[in-house]
Every structure is written in structure tokens, then in C-alpha cells.
Copies of this chain bind each other. A is one copy, B any other.
């Protein structure tokens, strides 16, 4: 299975063994036995492997952000969030940018305007104590509606898509209406980098 394990054995870390506990096309659960810089005696941990992902913060020429409202099965509800999707083959060229542009168009029906560009906001780990899942963050702007519209795939259930002013977006974060790590992490980087 093409999981790209986001593990670069750092100095002082050694994987003694890595028992496969469960696997399906969407995740892999392993219980590695390993040593770390502060733990020279082998110990065991539980790790979920997932594909990496790309999150896109789409911004229009007048500074509004595009959000999609999507059904999320684990929490049995729909939430407003930035378009995002998994990376099919992390070793491909320009794969982060290509995945971001694909998800932008498929999920929101927007695309980069002529002269628009993608700006990297780095990456983050959604839950670093149990999964190596990592999500790259991109600012896309300016964006405009695509002539092709959106193309939701069969696994997605996006019920709404609309533009929110920067002030509205900030209010949704303050109130807790925005409550997914992808969108919160992108906002954190945008603010810290002085990009909004």
C-alpha cells in the first residue's frame, strides 16, 4: 500500500521492529518497538499511518476567504473549513502544489486568477502523539470562480461553498464555529506571517 511514512530516523531514534496491527486502504496501524534519545531501553508505541494532505486557504482579490461546508463522518456533522485533500504520491514532482490546485477546484469550484499564485505556509502535524499524518498549508490568491465549477467526488459531501470577509472568518474562529485543525493552523500561520 502506498503510504508514505513520514519518518526520517533522527539521530538517537532506532526502530527495533514494527508490527502491523491493522491495514485498509485508508490507514495502517502499527505498534513499533523503538528507542529514543531519552529512552534507551526499547519501548512500544501505537502509530496510525495516513497519507499526507494539502490544505488551501483561497483568498479573493478583495480579501475574502473561500470556505466549504463538508460532512465529516467521524463527528457526524458538517463543518466550515478550507478545501483540503490527500496526496496520492508524495514523491511526485510539484505534488503539493498540484494537489492543492486540484482540491481548490474540485471542492470549491475556484481557481487561481491570471497572475495568481500559491504561497507556502509550511506544514503541521494534526495529532503528533498518535499519527504521522502531516498537512501542507498553502495560501492561494487571488482566486476566481472556475468556468468548470466544482467536481465533488463520490466520497465527499460538500453542501455549501461561499466567501467570507476576513472579519467574518476571524469571528468564526473566535466563536468556535471553525473547529478543524486544518483551517485553524492555516489561520495561525497567516496571522504570524503578517499575511492577514
Can you add 9 more A-B contacts, CB < 8 Å, to A7-B75, A29-B29, A36-B73?
A: A9-B76, A22-B29, A27-B46, A38-B157, A74-B128, A74-B130, A74-B131, A125-B179, A128-B181
With contact pairs A9-B76, A187-B188 given, residues A122 and B36 touching in the complex (Cβ less than 8 Å): no
Q: Considering the chains assembled together, what is the distance between the CA atoms of A186 and B52 in angstroms? A: 23
Chain B residues with CB below 8 A from A32, complex form: 73
Chain B residues with CB below 8 A from A27, complex form: 29, 46, 48, 130
Whether, in the assembled complex, A174 has its beta carbon less than 8 Å from a beta carbon of chain B, the answer is yes
With contact pairs A37-B159, A185-B181, A188-B184 given, residues A74 and B50 touching in the complex (Cβ less than 8 Å): no
How far does the Cβ of A141 sit from chain B's closest Cβ, in whole Å? 18
Chain B residues with CB below 8 A from A125, complex form: 72, 74-75, 79, 179-181
